[in-house]
Amino acid sequence: AQKVTQAQTEISVVEKEDVTLDCVYETRDTTYYLFWYKQPPSGELVFLIRRNSFDEQNEISGRYSWNFQKSTSSFNFTITASQVVDSAVYFCALSEGSSNTGKLIFGQGTTLQVKP
Amino acid sequence: DVKVTQSSRYLVKRTGEKVFLECVQDMDHENMFWYRQDPGLGLRLIYFSYDVKMKEKGDIPEGYSVSREKKERFSLILESASTNQTSMYLCASTRTSGGSYNEQFFGPGTRLTVL
């Protein structure tokens, strides 16, 4: 069965600290996509990144980086030198290749609080 | 700029009322989704629609129904609201072409309180 687990419910850091948000997934599909979304206090989920199951290259975008490891079924998200504006709820999600409707399976979400 | 809009940001209803939540997207997307978000549970899929007048149950459809009469509009209906339906409701849309590759675009959410 498909499942996404974000074991960290809440994380609190001080500005400029690095922080890693964990995501572990389960799927039987060999083709799938993993996503990270950010939900700021305004409520709207914002797409951050997508990764397909055949591409294990790590990705860096500014202060954000993602580590995808199929061997451990993990897709972790690191924020370097965190800022107060990074405070949000972050969701990891899975989309299976066998689905053509774009259905997403979401993790429970991790609330990140960055204190000044 | 792509947009998914929801009719209300905040809504307060009484137990037993019929509640309509409206969602409109301007991206000509075929697929639309309704989720509810509760602390510690993430987003759970209530219903989705892959075409006009077509719908499929998600993981938690009980107590809800949906309507999609036009491609751009997807409505969530609580036939008889109950207090356990107090939640944040999020609408999203995505294209069909590209299938599971496509990211979903979300509306700002409706925070519904049922008294």
Paired strand residues for B106: B92
Interface of A with B (CB under 8 A): 4, 6, 9, 31-33, 35, 37, 42-47, 50, 52, 91, 95-104, 106-109
pLDDT value at A42 more than 90 = no
Q: Is the dihedral of CA A11, A83, A89, B102 positive or negative?
A: negative
pLDDT value at A34 more than 70 = yes
| Exposed/middle/buried for residue B29 (C-beta within 10 Å: 0-12, 13-18, 19+) | buried
The reply to whether residue A101 touches residue B95, judged by beta carbons under 8 angstroms, is no
Average pLDDT over all residues of chain B: 93
Strands (E), A22-109: 24-26, 32-39, 46-52, 59-61, 64-69, 74-79, 88-96, 105-106
pLDDT value at B22 more than 70 = yes
Q: Give residue A94's pLDDT.
A: 94
Band (pLDDT 50/70/90 cuts) for residue A55 is: confident
Which of B89, B103, B112 is the best mutation test for A, with the most CBs of A within 10 A? B103
Cα–Cα nearest to B74, from B107, B37, B41:
B107
Q: Mean per-residue pLDDT for A97-115?
A: 89
pLDDT value at B102 more than 90 = no
DSSP state of B26: S
Residues of A in contact with B101 (CB under 8 A): 33, 50, 52, 95
The reply to whether residue A106 touches residue B108, judged by beta carbons under 8 angstroms, is no
pLDDT in tens, B55-96: 999 999 999 999 999 999 999 999 999 999 999 999 999 987
Residues of A in contact with B43 (CB under 8 A): 91, 104, 106, 109
Average pLDDT over all residues of chain A: 93
pLDDT in tens, A74-84: 999 999 999 99
Cβ A95 vs Cβ A53: under 8 Å: no
- What CA dihedral angle connects A17, A108, B33 and B7, to 10 degrees? -70
Q: Give residue B1's pLDDT.
A: 67
Between the ranges B36-45, B49-58, B83-92, where is the mean pLDDT highest? B83-92
Band (pLDDT 50/70/90 cuts) for residue B2 is: low
